[in-house]
Amino acid sequence: MSSSDRIYTAGLVVIGDEILSGRTHDRNIAQVASWLQVQGIRLDEVRVVPDVLERIVEAVNALRARNDYLFTTGGIGPTHDDITVDAVANALGVPVVIHPEARAILERYYADKGGVNEGRLRMARTPEGGELIPNIRSGAPGIKVGNIFLMAGVPHICAGMLDALTGTLEGGAPLLSETVGGFIPESEVSVLLREVEASHENCQIGSYPFFREGKVGANFVVRSTDAGALRACVDALCEGLRELGFDFTPGGI
Amino acid sequence: MSSSDRIYTAGLVVIGDEILSGRTHDRNIAQVASWLQVQGIRLDEVRVVPDVLERIVEAVNALRARNDYLFTTGGIGPTHDDITVDAVANALGVPVVIHPEARAILERYYADKGGVNEGRLRMARTPEGGELIPNIRSGAPGIKVGNIFLMAGVPHICAGMLDALTGTLEGGAPLLSETVGGFIPESEVSVLLREVEASHENCQIGSYPFFREGKVGANFVVRSTDAGALRACVDALCEGLRELGFDFTPGGI
């Protein structure tokens, strides 16, 4: 396997009682996943765990061991339920320290807002060896420590931190995809999908059904890291759909 | 601990290359979480895994061992990438069988749609010992096998299956919650939150910051299974916020 064939993967740990209670709809899984795709990194697994130290430690250790990168979202704010820094330090077996640069950033940010107090100082804590990820939207930075990236839980702050990391992580060839869709019942093309996938190496076909305008349909997403293989697979799929008499739309519907 | 104090938990395995690629925003985590709350069952962990048999088996086995119930969403349709039934059967060490009632349902449903073909027959497969969960929205049923519930990935079909299960699962006292919110920077009340939580047993306080109308604020969610304890904790929190000079809105903002 040449180095360009290497597949880079990431895990994501979402720290969130508020997600597990159903109170908040997670929006970070999709935005981290989409961002990783562009970096040539595949999101391999997500775990949503409660705000309990041992549970975060367990998930962090499981997913960092099997992936090139690990992201966390949530739990890096100023309150007692923000324990992600403690959990990651525990997972790595290092102490929590006050990061001088983070403290300086918070002192500037809160200079005209009452200054740094006990809660705000919590946001200057990092696992020992941590570096800061710029936060352009509010004061408290994200943290990079080893191959672990601690991101904010508030989606637009998380998005700003992802922007700051764009292009800084080594990735592989991005996974390319092409979609073909139509008002086609997937149950009428299941044999075709299986056979086209089986006859095109390095391609996967996903079938995503929907119900719209009173009719069933599906989008078929072909994925590959090889542009030529992708093209051939999509062409074979379209040809097969035509032979079965189905209308379809390149790009999906 | 009396039986009414018993806490019931569930795990959720989301089967979804389409979620991990960022193509589809998951909507099942929130709807399963909210539905479980009403049943008196706590969602304890979610894992999103790729459409790979061994990965689904691993997640199913991990989460069914530590929870009263396990739910899966996705991968029970008619195409080659629908392998949840196979994975759950593998996890349980039982064969996959054609469920006669599921087959009859599918034959009726597809009678005027070309009949049951190879792909459609896939949706009559269950792990041995499986029972059917009615699907009022389209033909193919969900499956209950032991403490595992296999639900559709399409959100409105999953919702119909949850409706069908309402009231059928044994749960504990529902987790009660009350929210207080305002344009209050959480970093100015972190000590208060920690102290109020610490002095009220069986209560947790979550702090969920937001940025709105150009101002920072937060909603504080107090949770308990004990209505009296919840009331006392919320009262103490409101008293503390008043003492610090903050305006707030019961019910949150």
Please indicate, yes or no, whether residues A44 and A158 belong to a single structural domain of this protein: yes
B174 pLDDT tier (thresholds 50, 70, 90): confident
The residues near B248 (Cβ < 8 Å, ≥ 6 apart) are B180, B181, B182, B184, B238, B241
In a domain, residue B171? The reply is no
Given a contact cutoff of 8 angstroms between Cβ atoms, the answer to whether A146 and A18 are in contact is no
**From residue B236, how far is each of A98, B184, B188, B229 by CA, in Å?**
31, 17, 17, 11
Angle at Cα A242 formed by Cα A244 and Cα B75, nearest 5°? 65
Tens-place pLDDT, residues B114-136: 899 988 999 999 999 999 999 98
B3 pLDDT tier (thresholds 50, 70, 90): very low
A2 pLDDT tier (thresholds 50, 70, 90): very low
pLDDT at A124: 96
Residues of A in contact with B18 (CB under 8 A): 206, 208, 221
Last residue of a domain, one of B165, B190, B210: B165
The residues near B158 (Cβ < 8 Å, ≥ 6 apart) are B28, B31, B32, B73, B151, B152
Average pLDDT over residues A126-150: 94
Residue whose tokens read 């601690």: A150
Average pLDDT over residues B171-200: 92
pLDDT at B210: 84
Residue B208 sits in a domain whose CATH number is 3.30.70.600
pLDDT at A106: 94
Cβ separation B206–A49 shorter than 8 A: no
Average pLDDT over residues A116-140: 92
Q: Is some CB atom of chain A closer than 8 A to the CB atom of B113?
A: yes
Reduced to 3 states, what is the DSSP secondary structure of residue A221? strand
Tokens of B81: 């990438």
Please indicate, yes or no, whether residues A20 and A135 belong to a single structural domain of this protein: yes
| Percent of chain A surpassing pLDDT 70 | 98
A4 pLDDT tier (thresholds 50, 70, 90): low
Average pLDDT over residues B77-106: 96
pLDDT at A23: 86
Please indicate, yes or no, whether residues B50 and B161 belong to a single structural domain of this protein: yes
pLDDT at B70: 98
Given a contact cutoff of 8 angstroms between Cβ atoms, the answer to whether A149 and A165 are in contact is yes
The residues near A81 (Cβ < 8 Å, ≥ 6 apart) are A17, A51, A75, B193, B204, B205, B206, B207
Please indicate, yes or no, whether residues A133 and A203 belong to a single structural domain of this protein: no
Average pLDDT over residues B4-22: 91
Residue whose tokens read 């979610």: B46
Report the 10 Å Cβ neighbour count for A191: 16
Please indicate, yes or no, whether residues A31 and A79 belong to a single structural domain of this protein: yes
CA A252/CA A151 separation, integer angstroms: 33
Query: In this model, does residue A88 exceed pLDDT 80?
Result: yes
Tokens of B178: 């009350």
The residues near A89 (Cβ < 8 Å, ≥ 6 apart) are A95, A96, A127, A128
Please indicate, yes or no, whether residues A34 and A106 belong to a single structural domain of this protein: yes
Q: Mean of the per-residue pLDDT values for chain A?
A: 93
Count of A-B CB contacts under 8 Å? 208
Q: Is some CB atom of chain B closer than 8 A to the CB atom of A194?
A: yes
Tokens of A18: 């508020």
Domain containing residue A146? 3-165
Residues of B (4-43) whose Cβ lies below 8 Å from A: 14, 17-27, 29-37, 42-43
Query: In this model, does residue B4 exceed pLDDT 80?
Result: no
pLDDT at A64: 97
Please indicate, yes or no, whether residues A138 and A194 belong to a single structural domain of this protein: no
pLDDT at B148: 98
Average pLDDT over residues B205-218: 87
Tens-place pLDDT, residues B145-170: 999 999 999 999 999 999 999 989 99
Nearest by CB to A206, which of B17, B25, B185? B17
Please indicate, yes or no, whether residues B74 and B191 belong to a single structural domain of this protein: no
In a domain, residue B234? The reply is yes
CA A164/CA A162 separation, integer angstroms: 5
Residue whose tokens read 């008002």: A183
Tokens of B180: 């207080």
pLDDT at A3: 45
Please indicate, yes or no, whether residues A149 and A197 belong to a single structural domain of this protein: no
Give the least confident one: A192-196, A209-213, B8-12, B88-92: A209-213
pLDDT at A14: 98
Average pLDDT over residues B84-106: 97
Q: How many structural domains does chain B have?
A: 2
Last residue of a domain, one of B127, B144, B165: B165
Selected residue of A20, A73, A123, A158 to mutate for chain B interface (largest B Cβ count, 10 A): A20
pLDDT at A210: 84
Whole-model pTM above 0.80? yes
Written as one letter, the residue type at B15 is I
Residues of B in contact with A47 (CB under 8 A): 45-48
CA B13/CA B50 separation, integer angstroms: 10
Given a contact cutoff of 8 angstroms between Cβ atoms, the answer to whether B251 and B179 are in contact is yes
Please indicate, yes or no, whether residues A17 and A121 belong to a single structural domain of this protein: yes
